[in-house]
Structure 1
Amino acid sequence: MKKRLLMFMGIGLLVLGLSACSMGSKHTSTASNLPDSSKYEPTLFFHGWGSSYHAEEQMAQSLVNAGLTKTIVRATVSKHGKVTLSGHFRKGDYHPIVEVGFEGNRNSNPRQWGRWAEATVIKLQQTYHTKRFNMVGHSMGNMAIMYYLLDNSNKLPKLQKQVDVAGHFNGILGMGDEPNQMKLQPNGKPEKMQAAYKALLPLRHTYPKNQIAVLNIYGDKNDGSHSDGSVSNASSKSLRYLVANRAKSYQERKIVGANAQHSKLHDNAQVDKFLIDFLDD
């Protein structure tokens, strides 16, 4: 009986040893073993408040279905800013997707979201020597992008394309904004600015000059509120005043109808088409 027990223990240790070897040898690409690493230009997706990377999946998959890439990597950012990558860039697939997930997704401080975005970019820079990239945000994810740019406009890898979906740059309905109340000047300047918007005003002078192409997508439920149900069109369109005078290009696209509701926009086929055309241009 004792000999049989020892035999089983020996087999168990052998299996554990083989498993450890297998895990240790699992291939993970980095700049050191990925040819032409500087050619890789990832597109980072940022979800909204209280959400997760799942909200990015349809938009990300639409890019795969359109043939823009075959690679989706996930970046999980802890509340303390530690970034963990799942998956890896693939040889020759130069436009991979990075679905970013913030564990502190109920944090309401937009500057903290910007710091988490920065941590993600730095992780990609350290791992793949990333030099150029794109960003796509939905709802609060747009504030992650904007506050990232506010603090890092010329320090880190070059942002080439910025896509903002359902951005609440100057407030949310029921939280300092009401339907049809916000007024914008022709250049997008709001007559009244909320604190978070005022904090972004330095971007009018620091946003990278003639570097970033911007696509601003917003929804109108067509119910008379001129909003997506959560964010007024005026709040979304106030982005123009912050970046248009320095952006390489700036364009707006309005989605109309029931599927233009705020949380449906990241699963909207029309948004997917605008996104594909913009990133593939």
Structure 2
Amino acid sequence: MSKYKKIVLSLALAGGLLFGAGLTGYHHPAAQASSSTSRKRKLRPTFFIHGYSSSIKAEEYFAKAAEQSGASKQIIKAQVDAAGKVKLSASLSAKAKNPLILVGFADNRNLDYNRDAWYAYQAIKAVEKTHRFTQMNLIGHSMGNTTISYMLINYGRRKSFPTVKRMVGIAGHYNGVRGQGLKTSADRKNGRPLKMSETYRHLLVLRKIFPKARVLNIYGDLLDGSNSDGRINNSSTRSLRYLVSPRAKSYREKKFTGPNAQHSRLRENPAVLKTAIRFLWPGN
């Protein structure tokens, strides 16, 4: 081999080695975009828990709004019977955009919050069996918020319990319902009730164990002088602030007023639905 050919061969080999070394740390832009998209689309279902004597039907207003907005592409119904057995309308899809699970209790007039929390937990486990997920959002209306709170206390510290990223409370009665004899009022700055119901005293443990989640607390004011949505005093709903503020990643309150801010109407109020959807799925 001539001296000239040896030089050319040496340069070619050197160039190949350098090119190969460069490939080791090189990531194609398309691959990076794909990886980024994968992270953004990490499976995170949202569970909706209804209130006392209610059902999945009451949650369908939210489901329809979520679908029409393009925020959610899969709606699953999870009906829990009195024995805790769950019937799902479909399996959770890994490819579905922001799946929404509407949870219904057959035993829907049960005031045993521990039992209700167990029902909700069974629904989450049943969905997880169809496809595993490690994160979730939660939304509750009325007593559904108390159910969620008890579920977090009873099961939220388990390693297998999905991480709660965002939570929406609508018309929650954390410190009692109107007509129960407890005149509730709260510190305007931190939400701490001046008088606490037995349930609220139990919920105080949330100040130590509440997940690092973003929280949106929605309440209604009829503007009739009652400072309530007709069933729940605003101070009772707003007392959630004191329960979660030491640990929540963020906390925001949103008040709605007028006739459509009535307790039951809040869950179907278009403005409420729009606000909740934007909070749960920002950027959609």
User: Structure 1 length as normaliser, TM-score?
Assistant: 0.82
Counterpart contact for 2:93–2:131, Cα < 8 Å: no
Counterpart contact for 2:50–2:143, Cα < 8 Å: yes
Verify: 1:80 aligned to 2:109, yes or no.
no
Give 1:115 shift.
1.1
Verify: 1:177 aligned to 2:182, yes or no.
yes
Partner of 1:273: 274
SS across alignment from 1:84: strand
Partner of 2:110: 107
Q: Which residue of 48, 65, 70 maps to 1:67?
A: 70
Question: Once structures 1 and 2 are overlaid, which stretch shifts more, 76-85 or 249-258?
Answer: 76-85
Question: Once structures 1 and 2 are overlaid, which stretch shifts more, 112-121 or 136-145?
Answer: 112-121
Partner of 2:239: 238
Partner of 1:24: none
Structure 1 stretches of at least 4 aligned residues deviating more than 4 Å after TM superposition: none
Counterpart contact for 2:46–2:98, Cα < 8 Å: yes
Structure 2: runs of 5 or more not aligned: 1-38
SS across alignment from 1:231: coil
Partner of 2:197: 194
Give 1:230 shift.
0.1
Give 1:224 shift.
0.4
Counterpart contact for 2:145–2:172, Cα < 8 Å: yes
Partner of 1:17: none
Tell me the alpha carbon deviations over residues 66-91 of structure 1, each in whole angstroms, 9 at most, x when there is no partner: 10122110001111211111123345
CA RMSD of aligned residues (A): 1.7
Distance 1:202 1:90 in 2: 35
Distance 1:185 1:266 in 2: 25
Q: Which residue of 143, 146, 149 maps to 1:143?
A: 146
- 1:68 corresponds to which letter in structure 2? A
Q: Which residue of 37, 53, 58 maps to 1:55?
A: 58
Q: Identity of counterpart residues, as a percentage?
A: 42
Counterpart contact for 1:217–1:254, Cα < 8 Å: yes
Counterpart contact for 1:185–1:191, Cα < 8 Å: no
Partner of 1:253: 254
Distance 1:256 1:55 in 2: 20
Counterpart contact for 1:39–1:94, Cα < 8 Å: no
Partner of 1:225: 226
Distance 1:144 1:136 in 2: 11
Partner of 1:33: none
Distance 2:254 2:239 in 1: 14
Structure exhibiting the larger radius of gyration computed from Cα positions:
2
Q: How many residues are treated as equivalent by the alignment?
A: 242
